[in-house]
């Protein structure tokens, strides 16, 4: 059911009209009492009751708020004009806030793509755009947003690994923008029937579950050490190649294959070692 805008009367002029009708009813009542005129008495009673009943047609519409009107269960329309408004007193009125709201989910424990249990939470910024759909398409649109947000978060979390294992792989920890967009798209699809627009969706908490947090920390540290060692070795090999090439180019010393191997070994120890090396000076023959 789509939103249908409907016109409403300004409340101030209608209030003045009803006050005038009430004054007339009082005057007729007084006249009927003084002159014992039954027609004026009946007219005063009817006009007074009608005026009191018409007062139930007033309602207030605040900024960024809409009022959904229905007549005996049938949707009539939606009013978004601000201020004091008036419509048919028989209309049922339901106010819907269209202000921007945010919702933070609780910490959910789910298994990511590799099967490791993680804790994840998100912050969802949303707004009601179609008040008729929010009222009539779902039973409770606020509860619907909360439940569907947690469901979308679970679905998204199981689609990606926690850490990036390959170059270019999208992971929960390393690609915040892509993950947020995926979560927003997932929520937009789920909440479209409720007349709700998702403005933003972001991960607010992400961590391994406590039972594997220590093991995963050791794994991350090991991966970091391996990556660092790989770069160090690659740099050291390049420096050794450069040193041998410069020695051969400049003719500083001629080394046979055995001496080259010894020099390469010594240079790699110096360049890749964690501690400073203690050199041994050879004052004798090279051979």
Residue-range domain boundaries for the chain? 9-96, 101-208, 219-272
pLDDT bucket at 210, cuts 50 / 70 / 90: confident
Q: Which CATH architecture has domain 101-208?
A: 2-Layer Sandwich (3.30)
- Report pLDDT digits (tens) over 25-83: 888 878 777 777 777 888 888 888 988 899 999 999 999 999 999 999 899 999 999 99
> Is the separation of the CB atoms in 83 and 11 below 8 Å?
yes
Q: Euclidean distance between the first and final Cα of the chain, in Å?
A: 94
Q: How does DSSP classify residue 156?
A: H
Consecutive H or E run containing 82: none
Q: Would you give the distance in Å from CA 84 to the centre of its chain?
A: 34
pLDDT bucket at 201, cuts 50 / 70 / 90: very high
Q: What is the pLDDT of residue 25?
A: 84
Q: Would you give the distance in Å from CA 95 to the centre of its chain?
A: 25
- Report pLDDT digits (tens) over 90-124: 999 999 999 999 988 888 988 888 888 889 999 99
| Dist CA 164 CA 162 (whole Å) | 7
| Dist CA 29 CA 160 (whole Å) | 78
> What's the pTM?
0.68
């Amino acid at each position: 059911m789509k939103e249908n805008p409907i016109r409403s009367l300004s409340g101030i002029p209608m209030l003045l009209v009803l006050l005038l009708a009430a004054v007339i009813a009082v005057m007729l009542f007084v006249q009927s009492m003084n002159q014992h005129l039954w027609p004026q008495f009946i007219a005063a009673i009817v006009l007074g009751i009608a005026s009191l009943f018409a007062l139930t047609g007033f309602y207030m519409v605040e900024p960024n708020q809409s009022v959904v009107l229905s007549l005996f269960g049938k949707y009539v329309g939606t009013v978004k004009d601000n201020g004091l408004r008036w419509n048919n007193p028989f209309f049922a009125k339901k106010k819907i806030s269209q202000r921007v709201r945010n919702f933070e989910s609780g910490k959910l424990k789910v298994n990511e793509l590799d099967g490791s249990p993680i804790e994840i939470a998100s912050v969802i910024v949303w707004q009601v755009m179609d008040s008729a759909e929010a009222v009539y398409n779902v039973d409770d649109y606020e509860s619907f947003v909360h439940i569907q947000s947690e469901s979308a978060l679970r679905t998204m979390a199981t689609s990606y690994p926690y850490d990036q294992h390959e170059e270019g792989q999208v992971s929960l920890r390393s690609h915040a923008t892509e993950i947020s967009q995926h979560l927003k798209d997932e929520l937009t699809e789920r909440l479209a029937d409720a007349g709700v627009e998702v403005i933003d969706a972001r991960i607010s908490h992400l961590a391994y579950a406590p039972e594997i947090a220590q093991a995963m920390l050791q794994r991350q540290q090991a991966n970091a050490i391996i990556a660092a060692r790989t770069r160090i070795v690659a740099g050291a090999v390049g420096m050794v190649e450069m040193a041998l090439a410069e020695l051969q180019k400049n003719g500083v010393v001629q080394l046979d294959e055995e001496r080259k191997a010894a020099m390469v070994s010594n240079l790699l120890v110096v360049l890749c070692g964690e501690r400073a090396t203690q050199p041994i000076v050879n004052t004798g023959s090279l051979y």
